[in-house]
Each structure stands twice: as C-alpha cells, then as structure tokens.
Structure 1
Amino acid sequence: MHTEEAYRWRKQAVLGLVLIAVGTVVLLDRLYYIDAGAYWRYWPLLLVVVGINQTIGYPSPREFGNGLWTVFIGLWLFACFNHVFGLTFRNSWPLFILAWGVKLVFQPLVARRFAQQQSALKQPENQHEG
C-alpha cells in the first residue's frame, strides 16, 4: 500500500509542477516578458513527462498502459507539429494501428509481470504470518 501512496503523491506532484510551469509561461506571455508562441510547438513534451510519470512505479497494468499511450501520443504530436522524420497528421495515422497492435501483444506480458511482482511482494508477508 505504501507504494500506491507514493505513486499517487508523485503523480499529483508532477501534475502540479506541470500546471505551475504552464501557468508561469502563460502569465509571462500575458505580461509581455516572453513570447510564448515560440514555445507552443513543445507542449506535447509535457504529455511525455506525464506519461513517463505514470509508468514509473505503476500500481496496476492499466496505469502502466495508460502511461505508455500518453507518451506515445505526446511523441506523435511533437513529431507531427515539428515534422520530425517528415511526419504529419496526414501521413502518420497508421502509427496508431501499429501502436494498437503492439499494445495487444504486450498487454498480457505486462499483466503477467505485474502479477508476479504482486505475488513476490505478498510472499514475505505470508512468511511472517506462519
């Protein structure tokens, strides 16, 4: 349970830091100290940070999967906005089909790995009871 509490706290802290960063940039833009338009193309990287945060110390396979999807979408949006490798919204949509297939292949593996971790964590507790 301690791991879940730490995960939730970290998730909330990262979200708070992201909101502070976005709020600061918008405020400085509105006060004419910076031109936030120059940074607009980097906003998908915030999704990558949030997604990585979801995958570290994940309390469930679902949270881990959601984190990977968030990272994927952030990287895809960044690549499309900045034309990385020539990707645009028009020519990169098949990546979603590819990612969906990868998800279907790896989902049972992640679930099995998570089940093994849970049983390993519960095993020492059971030994102290006996």
Structure 2
Amino acid sequence: MNHPTASTLSPSQVRARSAVLGLALIAFGTLALLDARNLFDLALMQTFWPLVLMLVGLDRLVWQRSSGWMPGAVLLVIGSTMLARNLGLTDIGLHQIWPLFVILGGLSLLSRRGAAQAERG
C-alpha cells in the first residue's frame, strides 16, 4: 500500500493534518494539566499517556520521510515501552533499553549512507 509522503500532499492537506495533530495535542495537554491540578480526574491518562508518543512516532514514520525513520522509531519504542510498563506487561524501563537508541542511531546513519550511495550510482 502506498501512503503519500508529506512532500506529495497539497499545502491544504498538510495544514489540515498539522491542525488536527496540534488540536489533539492541545486537548491532551489541557486534560493532563487539569488532572495534575486535581480539577479533573483522568485515571486512565496516567496509564495511557504514552499513546501520544506512539501516535507522533507513527505519524513521523508514515508522513515525514524527509527526517528519516529514526525519530519516529525512537518515539514508538519509548511510547511502547512506557505503555507496556504502565499496563504491567513488563518491568523493563527506559534506563534498561537506552542502548537500543544508540543502535537505532547507527542503523539510521548506515541507511542514509546506503541511500546516498545508491543515488550516486
């Protein structure tokens, strides 16, 4: 399945996509702030807030090809790890998987280098 990249979207589609993501983040942040001030009880937010990181990571992987796959992959890994820990599925924390980000950085550099060499022929 071919997904359009950010460069193939019309300017109005890019603005609409940015507006939806921006409004979703503002709504989430507002609810989190109200919850932190005990003005609104969002017990589920304490568990599921890493979904925001996962959604932003997925957005970067699917739509923002210009920055490479690394930022999206990192956000997905961080969000997934945090959500799994919040749900009690694992006791692994970010302090235990930070070397994975070093590995992902190396893979990202190698994939960029390989792509650049392929373009040169």
TM-score range, shorter chain: 0.5 to 0.7
Compare CA radii of gyration and give the structure with the larger one.
Answer: 1
- Assess, with a 3 A threshold, how the Cα gap between structure 1 residues 41 and 115 changes in structure 2: closer, same or farther: farther
Give the number of equivalent residue pairs: 110
* Match of residue 43 from structure 1: 49
Going from structure 1 to structure 2, the CA distance change for 1:65 and 1:11 (only over 3 Å counts) comes to farther
CA–CA distance in structure 2, aligned partners of residues 97 and 52 of structure 1: 21
Seen in structure 2, the aligned counterparts of structure 1 residues 12 and 54 have a Cα distance that, compared at 3 Å, is: farther
Which residue number corresponds to residue 81 of structure 2? 76
Measured in 2, the distance between the counterparts of 1:26 and 1:108 equals: 41
Give runs of aligned pairs for residues 85-104 of structure 1, distance below 5 A. Answer: 85-87=90-92, 89=93, 93-104=95-106
Structure 1 regions of 5+ residues with no counterpart? 120-130
TM-score by length of 2: 0.62
Structure with the larger helix share: 1
Distance 1:115 1:17 in 2: 39
Counterpart amino acid of residue 50 in structure 1: V
Distance 1:15 1:86, change over 3 A: same
Q: Distance in 1 between matches of 2:63 and 2:117?
A: 14
Contact map agreement 1:51 1:66 (CA 8 A) in 2:
yes
Q: Secondary structure at the match of 2:90?
A: helix
